[in-house]
């Protein structure tokens, strides 16, 4: 038996929490879900939705429960993946708390409603938070910075951009996801060529969307591939 098991008094008590970095695109901006804390510590400060994991639930179940309780959002249909574990012993003034951060993505998510420990919940533009890590409670500013860079990077080599689209989408709508998240304009013809030449990225449905003006646009859905080969590598105003 390990020595630390012989005398549990030598092991400091610790707790496990889950936090969620949830992104959507609204009004042409990349937005992240924040709450205003209604309890100490960091009363009144913006934070990620999250909380303690209950003894009878998995980490994923805990993340979905906290999202539902603190923001009134059903996360069961979101793209949800673990971002990482954060365990700096000074990250929480209440004691030794290790948090498992989740990255969640969805298309045009609804207006949140604060509940339980959240005084309110709201969407905040990512552009207004970058470079302001200290404004958020705990180490949530650092978690958000890592999360948004993860999204930007994964757009190059995975089909994660489709998580920001509905079940059916046009290539123009898919391109808009890249443009918003990468914060750069892309050449429409070059983008279309790269997407359609990337095996398994999207599937044509045979249907079209008819706008009030202009030509109808072909509708697609996400293909079977998750890893993109070749990847869509960022360039200066184009994809290379």
- How crowded is residue 119: how many other Cβ atoms within 10 Å of its Cβ? 13
Non-local (6+) Cβ contacts of 164 within 8 A are 23, 24, 25, 105, 106, 107, 177, 181
Q: Please state, in angstroms and rounded to a whole number, the distance separating the CA atoms of residues 159 and 193.
A: 16
DSSP structure string for 155-166: HHHBSGGGGGS-
- Map out the domains of the chain with their CATH numbers: 3-156 (3.90.79.10), 158-222 (1.10.10.10)
pLDDT of residue 214: 84
pLDDT of residue 132: 81
Contact 18, 50 (CB under 8 A): yes
pLDDT of residue 131: 81
- Joined together, the tokens standing for residue 182 give 């990468």
pLDDT of residue 84: 98
pLDDT of residue 42: 96
pLDDT of residue 172: 97
Q: What is the mean pLDDT of each run of 10 residues along the chain (240 residues)?
A: 57 89 97 96 96 97 96 96 97 96 97 91 94 89 97 98 98 98 95 96 97 92 96 70
- Write down the pTM of the prediction: 0.91
């Amino acid at each position: 038996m390990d020595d630390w098991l012989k005398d549990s008094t030598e092991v400091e008590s610790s707790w496990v929490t889950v936090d969620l970095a949830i992104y959507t695109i609204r009004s042409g901006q990349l937005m992240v879900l924040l709450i205003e804390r209604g309890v100490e510590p960091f009363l009144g400060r913006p934070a990620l939705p999250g909380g303690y994991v209950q003894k009878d639930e998995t980490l994923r179940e805990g993340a979905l429960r906290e999202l539902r309780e603190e923001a009134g959002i059903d996360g069961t249909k979101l793209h949800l993946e673990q971002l990482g574990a954060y365990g700096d012993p000074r990250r929480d003034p209440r004691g030794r708390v290790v948090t498992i951060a989740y990255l969640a993505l969805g298309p045009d998510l609804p207006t949140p409603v604060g509940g339980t420990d959240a005084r309110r919940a709201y969407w905040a533009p990512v552009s207004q938070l970058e470079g302001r890590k200290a404004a958020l409670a705990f180490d949530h500013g650092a978690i958000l910075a890592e999360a948004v860079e993860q999204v930007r990077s994964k757009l190059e080599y995975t089909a994660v951009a489709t998580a920001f689209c509905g079940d059916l989408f046009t290539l123009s709508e898919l391109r808009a996801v890249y443009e918003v998240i990468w914060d750069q304009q892309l050449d429409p013809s070059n983008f279309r060529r790269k997407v359609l030449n990337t095996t398994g990225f999207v599937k044509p449905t045979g249907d079209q969307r008819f706008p009030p003006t202009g030509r109808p646009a072909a509708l697609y859905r996400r293909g079977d591939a998750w890893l993109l080969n070749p990847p869509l590598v960022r360039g200066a105003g184009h994809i290379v």
